[in-house]
Structure 1
Amino acid sequence: MVVFALAVLVTLSSYAAGCSPGTNSTELQLRRMEHQPVTAQLAAVFQEMESLRCEQTTLQQQQNALTQIHQMSPRWTTEREVGTHVLTYGSHDHDDDEEEEEEEDEEKSLRRRGDPCFHYTVLDQAWRATNTTSKFKMCDRNVKWKGWYRMYYKGQSLQMPERCVPVNKCGTHSPLWLAGTHPRRRDGIVTRNVCGHWKKRCCAFRSTPIKVKKCRGNYYVYQFTQPSSCYLAYCADVNTLVCGRCRRNQSCVSRDKINWRCKRKKRLSSKKIHFFASFPGNLMGKVNRIKYSKVLVNVGRAYNRRTGVFKAPVKGIYQFFFSTVAGRRGQKTDLWLVVNNYWVAVSHSHISRPSTVSSLSTYMTFLRRGAIVYVTQNCGQSWANAASTTITFGGSLLVQMR
């Protein structure tokens, strides 16, 4: 019986080791025990079987791990450290048809690697809340600030207050609040002043400025610095808890900086702006601003017939045109397009023989909302009558911009 068990064990150990029978050390070791007592031989057999069972378990675990690695598809893994969000950039094998996708992901990872919105420390300390008072006062001058921070209150995202906070709140004597508005996401990283309230002076302490950035998801990250003295501490405004629940198509707004709400962002509707007007008479000499009183088209009502001024209602790219007809021999006639009090384009005509000459000029430019545009005659004579459209001014909005 023992001899048979030895033979089976030798065969199994040989296959487990990936060798031919008779070539491994287990077989040689067991053959040396042929003349040992049966109990010793059985003990050796059971010991070797236990060793083989452990090896089989290890091999099975390794195979399962390899299978899981092979099946893993996400390229990004998020590692949560204690109080910190860290984005880990892993590398995985891809097929040849995924090379372009891999390059795009690599570019995104390089951009995100230095973005504080993807690497910040969670600052969740209930004593910082604007509605908190405590017996023991805290001082942020004793904190070694490093990197960027996102403020929380009991696991919910909020932001710094933008208004004066009463003294002895936020777990300190002089609460620090943001002396200015939070930035928009397109503003990137901005620098903001911080004030501390003390003795009825909202900005009794002007602390070291901090940096702020708005991230996707309606939250902010802050690069805090050591305050100028003690006892000063950064506040977390509990009134802005609602801001952490705003969706991407919503913005967090407030009239009094106390009560906040999520408001749906207005979609940029493409506005239609077109106008065309003419002057029904002759113009002699210098005319500072031509009042084109005969308005044929005024979509968007941006042109004022009483003043002759076009006022841009939205920011965008506009195209204008203006024309004249001159009819006096030997005289030049110049009409200029004026944008925000700058002469930018001219419609020039000069007659050398008895005849009439018409002149048309166009001009394309970028205008901000509220920009003014009009036409002036610098010199000469322009001819028109009530039935003609020879002295004209018009324009259109080509592209509206945010």
Structure 2
Amino acid sequence: MVVLAVAVFVTLSSCAVGCSGNMNSTELKLRSVKNQPAAFFKDMTRPQCEQTTLQQQDALTQVNMESLKQKRDAGTNLFYYGTSAEEEYEQPFSEEDTRRRSDPCFHYTVLDQAWRATNTSTKLTMCDRRYKWKGWYRLFFKGQSIQMPERCVPVNKCSTHAPLWLAGRHPRIRDGIVTRQVCGHWKKKCCAFRSTPIKVKKCRGNYYVYQFTKPSSCDLAYCADINTLVCGRCRRNQSCVSRDKINWRCKTRKVPSRKVHFFASYPGQLTGKVNRIKYSKVLVNVGRAYSRSTGTFRAPVKGIYQFFFSTQTANTNKKTDLWLVVNSYWVAVSHTAFSRPSSVGSLSTYMTFLRKGSRVYVTHNCGKSWANAASMTITFGGSLLVQMK
């Protein structure tokens, strides 16, 4: 019994040291339960260690979250948006993480200041030259996404004397990051002040981020167009448009229909296993989705496709198999097997749903297929039947 007590004491002591527990409290508990069986001690020490470890993790998380809160700019409603400290601690780095870390659409400061709205006056004269601009910003108005005006703003609006507006249209997503001129309205001149240019990027979700810079003088301030509040409610398949830059609306984007057809042949003989047949004689390739150099068809859009592949077998007591491969899965076979010398043609078809970027090719798994430069016996083709959003 003395040996058992010593073993238990060592176990509890290691837990206390490893988990930063209290040695004195552990010794007191040991004296009160020293007559218990060994299984009891094992079950008792496990939750103590686990609880202490969880407390350490909670403390570490609290430190990380406190560090995140320090990024707030007191009094100006500037908040950092991006991956939280807890997420940064738990999630491993990946190629997607690296891309997001360099993309301002995922790392910006929220600029939610009601005085910037184009319908406010100069009760408080503001000047953005006093701010230390750093990084990218996204404009909000009382919690709703908004964007800069693309037209001249009247004098003494946006709580400043010369309101700053974007002298040019906002970019499209495919434009990436662009540089735009910024103008300040003063004394009946819409561009009386040509301030320092800024950078702008459109993000998925119908919002923009801006890399604001210090204006050329005071009193100038960046404006937020109150008329663009509707743009924050547009869906993914919509864009926010306006003819007069005053009345904005969400417009559904039309997906252009694609025509995809291809037909190719292999002008020679195939024997045994050929991992990917490169049909080098291409007769039709509408949409340019088939590559003769790789023998692979790559779906340009999401939709329903139909494929066909054929061969002319020339075997004696052997089978010949051709397989259609979709995204590394063997999905359809063209099979022939004869017990005597013969030459037989075989054609197989397959219809399936494919996402954009799916890859399709044909493999010659075994046997012998015959063709020459003039024949069309070893072929591969397909068409897009229905395009989907």
How does the TM-score come out when normalised to structure 2? 0.50
Specify the structure having the higher radius of gyration (Cα).
Answer: 1
